[in-house]
Homo-oligomer: A and B are copies of this chain.
Amino acid sequence: MTNNINIRTKARTEFIDITSEIEKLLDESGIKSGICFLYVPHTTAGITINEGADPSVVSDIQRTLSKLIPNNLNYSHMEGNSDAHIKSTVVGASKTVIIDDGKLLLGTWQSIFFCEFDGPRHRRVLVKLINDGV
């Protein structure tokens, strides 16, 4: 079964910590060992795993990506959001996390972030949990 996490972003660029929603889905599944597949079905958003303790980390990531890939270059695509498409390709739309002993094997400082690059919008993250039967 594929689960949906629904997200309402509030700014053009915003990273939203979705770790606890994913952990809740994992708890409900009862899976002890397997893989968690995360997927963003949008072309101007992404998903990343990075530090959740200090919010200045994700603000530095957002600011530096916007400096490298500015909104106002001379792009061909006429919708004014080419920067968001490019960031989506750089950050990526699919990630996998290992499940062991009923938990996501995240590092001590890792959180999972939905990355909005062209908000505010309604967004979704797809979560598929696979049991490897061990």
How many Å from the CB of A36 to the closest CB on chain B?
10
Contacts of A128 in B (CB 8 A): 35, 98, 100, 132
**Are A107 and B56 in contact, CB atoms less than 8 angstroms apart?**
no
**Are A77 and B97 in contact, CB atoms less than 8 angstroms apart?**
no
Contacts of A65 in B (CB 8 A): 86
A88 within 8 A of B: yes
A39 within 8 A of B: yes
How many Å from the CB of A113 to the closest CB on chain B?
9
**Are A2 and B100 in contact, CB atoms less than 8 angstroms apart?**
yes
Contacts of A59 in B (CB 8 A): 76
What bracket does the count of chain A residues touching chain B fall in?
35 or more
**Are B91 and A43 in contact, CB atoms less than 8 angstroms apart?**
no
A5 within 8 A of B: no
**Are A134 and B1 in contact, CB atoms less than 8 angstroms apart?**
yes
**Complex CA–CA separation, A95 to B93 (angstroms):** 8
Nearest residue, chain B, Cβ from A132: B130
- Interface mask (A34-60 → B, CB under 8 Å = 1, otherwise 0): 010101111100001111001011011
Q: Which of A35, A43, A59, A78 has the most CB of B within 10 A?
A: A43
Contacts of A119 in B (CB 8 A): none
| Known contacts A43-B51, A57-B82, A60-B76; 5 further A-B pairs (Cβ under 8 A) | A35-B130, A39-B98, A68-B68, A96-B96, A100-B128
